[in-house]
């Protein structure tokens, strides 16, 4: 199979004539072993987002709360990429990000929104996240970020 252009649109058109949506996106592999932490309270979202991060070559741990994420980091776990949902049950996404920065976490932190209105990102940005995204977390968006982390 011819290599795809990394991070770009899907590489291979399906052989089925009536399938307009392309399949066979060439998922990348990285020089470094990229480790991810996903913080999302919704089980469905956790499953899907973790899967997508995995497809993009990030070995990902998923937790349900900000507290659980902070505990992991306090126990010495390190991550290249941390993805945090905005709404978490007690500690909010922004509070979680802020706590991590206070703990000295320098990893790339991304704030995730189920629904984004302009201005929603303020508390995340103030907390020190590097970027934010409205769901869904897509390979097209994630891969360029990962490529930077890999260099």
- Please give the Cα distance from 66 to 98 (Å, whole number): 11
- Please give the Cα distance from 95 to 89 (Å, whole number): 12
Q: Binding marks (x or -) toward other proteins, 40..69, rule CB under 8 A? A: --xxxx-xxx-xx--x--------------
For residue 112, what is the enclosing H or E element? Answer: strand 108-113
> Of the candidates 21, 104, 118, 148, which one interacts with other proteins according to CB under 8 A?
21
Measured from the CB atom, the residue of 53 and 109 that comes closer to other proteins is 53
Q: Is 14 in the site for other proteins (CB under 8 A)?
A: yes
Report yes or no: 110 and 136 within 8 Å, Cβ to Cβ.
no
Rounded to a whole number of angstroms, the minimum distance from the CB of residue 104 to other proteins is 30
3-state secondary structure of 58: strand
Rounded to a whole number of angstroms, the minimum distance from the CB of residue 136 to other proteins is 5
- Contacting range for other proteins; rule: CB under 8 A; set: 22-30, 31-39, 60-68, 142-150: 22-30
**Interface with other proteins in residues 94-113 (CB under 8 A):** none
Q: Is 20 in the site for other proteins (CB under 8 A)?
A: yes
Q: Is 115 in the site for other proteins (CB under 8 A)?
A: yes
For residue 82, what is the enclosing H or E element? Answer: strand 81-85
Tokens of residue 22, six digits: 């392309």
Tokens of residue 69, six digits: 């994420």
> Of the candidates 6, 71, 74, 87, which one interacts with other proteins according to CB under 8 A?
87
Count the Cβ atoms, other than its own, within 10 Å of residue 47.
Answer: 12
- Please give the Cα distance from 28 to 36 (Å, whole number): 15
Footprint of other proteins on this chain (CB under 8 A)?
Answer: 1, 14-16, 18-21, 23-25, 42-45, 47-49, 51-52, 55, 85, 87, 114-115, 117, 135-136, 138-139
């Amino acid at each position: 199979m011819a290599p795809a252009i990394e991070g770009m649109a899907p590489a291979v058109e399906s052989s089925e004539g009536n399938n307009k949506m392309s399949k066979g996106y060439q998922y990348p592999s990285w020089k470094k072993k990229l480790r991810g932490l996903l913080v999302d309270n919704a089980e469905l979202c956790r499953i899907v987002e973790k899967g997508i991060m995995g497809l993009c070559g990030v070995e990902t741990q998923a937790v349900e709360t900000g507290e659980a994420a902070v505990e992991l980091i306090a126990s010495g776990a390190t991550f290249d990429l941390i993805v945090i949902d905005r709404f978490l049950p007690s500690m909010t996404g922004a509070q979680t990000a802020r706590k991590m920065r206070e703990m000295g976490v320098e990893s790339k932190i991304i704030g995730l929104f189920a629904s984004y209105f302009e201005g929603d990102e303020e508390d995340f940005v103030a907390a020190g996240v590097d970027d934010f995204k409205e769901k869904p977390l897509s390979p097209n968006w994630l891969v360029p970020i990962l490529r930077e982390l890999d260099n």
